[in-house]
Amino acid sequence: MVSDPSDTVGVAVIGAGFIADAHLSALAMTPGARVVAIAGRTGDSAAAIAARHGIKDSSDDYRRLLDRTDVDVVSVAVPNDLHAEVVVAAAAAGKHVICEKPLSRTLAEADAMIEATDSAGVLLLYAELLCFAPKYRRVKELIEEGAFGSVMQIRHTEQHFGPHSDWFWQGPRAGGGVMMDMGCHGIEIIRYLYGKPLVESVTADMSTLVHKERTELEDHAIAVVRFSGDRVGLIETSWTKPGGMDDRIEVTGDEGVAYADLLRASAIVAYSERGYGYAVEKATSTSGWSFPVADEQWNYGMPRQMEHFIGCIRTGTTPLETGHDGRTALEVVYAAYMSAGEGRRVALPLQLSESEASQAPYRFWRNATPGKGSSGAFKNSA
């Protein structure tokens, strides 16, 4: 909590890649927030992104930023295998934390992060931006108003042709493929729209369909998540679809339906023979027909997410999405990999040993024996 609500909240961004750039753009739109420093893997990468955003201080050592008295909150925008290290260090320094999705690479790391921030009395925001997307927030309002009657199914799809950095393709660093990278979005936005009920079970199928020469990870995944109260979530997530980011939800109730397209419904429909600079995230070409998006950051919800968390820091209130929410989403991710590996429905909550909770989720898919009996990590399978 900031002692004077009128004070500017000082932010340090850890990371110098694609998502750090997005965080910086969103923070620039956030009243009451001021980015004072940035750290990257190298001094050159940090200096380059700092120059683009007009930040005076950059470093290749994030720990130096944690010593600064003008830093109230740390925005963690580093690869998945570094989340726990940075979050635990930030908490020990008494800094509030914004942690990019997925919360961590393993459940053991997630537990360490939550314990560190809880013990230090600092706030941890699980940065699930879709829960702050204006279009999806409006859908939630309609659900709560009863517009669709009793909602029994919500579908989320997020697809493009693959991630922008090499580490995403590496299981030990990322923890998993497209289910880990983007399936976590579908899990949490559906859970949020339903009002965060208990997750009862997960059934999933995963494949490597297109990028077989590049990765051992899945590039396409489908999951059925069953929630308490006879409610179903359908998740389709893929790195196999050309044409740029495609993010949509469908809500089905006994008295109505809703369809929301996060980006293309608000985009410009354009045709260009020569092409142009930028259309939408992950679009590899702008020649021919394309969909240049307007206000992309706003549509995704990241500015609202940052504004929400800055308000939580000022008032000492619990954020909408916490580390515990991030852990729940990660547990569902684990169950999806187990289900795809075993070929069966997996019940939650999971009962994992310490060594199992320290394994990257994709290993439960890669190393599983289909049809294996209920034992070990899978003793709770239905």
- Are 90 and 160 within one domain? no
On whether residue 335 sits in a domain, the answer given is yes
- Are 275 and 149 within one domain? yes
357 burial level (CB within 10 Å; 0-12, 13-18, 19+)? middle
pLDDT-derived band at 266, boundaries 50, 70, 90: confident
- Are 141 and 16 within one domain? no
pLDDT in tens, 157-196: 999 999 989 999 999 999 999 999 999 999 999 999 999 9
- Are 87 and 227 within one domain? no
- Are 181 and 90 within one domain? no
- Are 246 and 328 within one domain? yes
Q: With contact defined as beta carbons under 8 Å apart, do 335 and 346 qualify? A: yes
- Are 94 and 209 within one domain? no
Predicted pLDDT of residue 4 = 47
Reference 380, options 337, 349, 359; nearest CA is 349
* Statement: residue 378 has pLDDT above 80: no
On whether residue 238 sits in a domain, the answer given is yes
Tokens encoding 4: 């004077």
State the total domains in the chain. Answer: 2
On whether residue 283 sits in a domain, the answer given is yes
Distance of alpha carbon 4 from alpha carbon 17, whole angstroms: 33
Last residue of a domain, one of 67, 98, 128: 128
Calculate what percentage of the chain has a pLDDT beyond 70. 95
Distance of alpha carbon 238 from alpha carbon 218, whole angstroms: 9
Tokens encoding 164: 């922008």
281 burial level (CB within 10 Å; 0-12, 13-18, 19+)? middle
pLDDT in tens, 94-124: 999 999 999 999 999 999 999 999 999 999 9
* DSSP string for residues in 89-144: HHHHTT-EEEEESSS-SSHHHHHHHHHHHHHHT--EEEE-GGGG-HHHHHHHHHHH
Last residue of a domain, one of 85, 103, 128: 128
On whether residue 3 sits in a domain, the answer given is no
CATH number of the domain to which 234 belongs: 3.30.360.10
Structural domain range at position 62 = 9-128
- Are 222 and 148 within one domain? yes
